[in-house]
Amino acid sequence: METAPDAFARDSVVIRAVKDITYGSIAGMISKVFEHPFDLTKVRLQSQVLDSKARFSGPIDCLTKTWKNEGVRGLYRGLPAPIVGAMAENASLFLSYGELQNVIRKVQKKPLDEKLSLGQLMIAAAGSGAITSFLLTPIELVKCKMQVQMLISPTTAPGVTPAKLPGPIAVLTSVIRSTGVRGLWLGHTGTLIRETGGSAAWFGTKEYIASLLLERRRKKDGFESVELLSSGRPALLPWESALSGACAGAAFNFVLFPADTVKSAMQTEEELRPQAKLKPGEPIPPRATFASTFRAMWKVQGLRGLYAGCGITVARSIPSSAIIFLTYDGLNKYFG
């Protein structure tokens, strides 16, 4: 028979999970609207590494040409997919991060409200990133394909105009029609590497910087200056959430950026570098893999190519990640 404490603990876990999904979704949606033009720039710079002639000389040139040729609509091309992706990504990240912490506590027979070490938190974060990568890859595939639609030359796509460009549903169904459901996970290795290592860096950096800021406040204003949330965790001030989140954003994107570059190149290969039609009896060339694409990009531009778009990505991730944690921590503080 279930005891009252067990029932209370179970209900608390369910409520916490619902809050993580809700707050994570809201935080992700807000941040994605801000950062999308910069993400589009990153994808376009990554996608041109294997081209014989670069379309853009750098991020400013890419933003300027996109604005000039496509307007505001062009800067936000493909936005619906990343909006859905950001909501799913952050909801999944925060939910699985909290649940994996509880798993670690149960394995080590610790109370559910006991704080874990930084190393244990990073293990939980890495696990949450790995789980989230399976949700994220199909969404990013659609997003990347839409973000390079306007780069297709007229000879590649005769008669294509902005009004006729396929939307996210059309892109999704096209992928399934040509490669099957399995094709939606093209480039998943890159997403898995990026999300696993990046999430460990993201949550780990946020937790570490936040702990330093809390300790600083305690020393300056005393222990009573730190308010506790209903979960027992200390509440961060808005600027503390923003600063620790900003540092986390930079860490997430810089650590394993080459994996993201390879992933973007794989997901836009069909649009930007289509294969010539095979003659009867001609063998089908082997499908590009993560390793083969990595080697090709390294051969063409080396480390510079693998970090194409890194500068603007880190620059936009700093305020974007600050917005995510400011929103998430703020919702936690005011709604419990």
Residues 119-136 pLDDT 10s: 999 999 999 999 999 999
Domain boundaries, the chain: 11-154+164-274+286-335
* CATH class of the domain defined by 11-154+164-274+286-335: mainly alpha
Residue 42 clears pLDDT 50, i.e. is over it: yes
10: pLDDT strictly greater than 60: no
Question: pTM for the full model?
Answer: 0.80
Single-letter amino acid, residue 259: A
Q: Is 302 left (phi over 0), alpha (psi -120 to 50) or beta?
A: left
Q: What is the mean pLDDT of residues 47-70?
A: 85
Q: Is the pLDDT of residue 323 over 80?
A: yes
Confirm if 230 and 171 have CB atoms less than 8 A apart. no
Rounded-to-integer distance, Cα 227 and Cα 211, Å: 14
Nearest alpha carbon to residue 271 among 30, 100, 78 = 78
Q: Which of 88-102, 179-193, 224-238, 300-314 has the lowest mean pLDDT?
A: 224-238
Contacts of 80 (CB under 8 A, 6+ apart): 167, 168
Residue 316 has pLDDT above 60, yes or no: yes
The DSSP 8-state label assigned to residue 276 in this structure reads: P
pLDDT at 281: 59
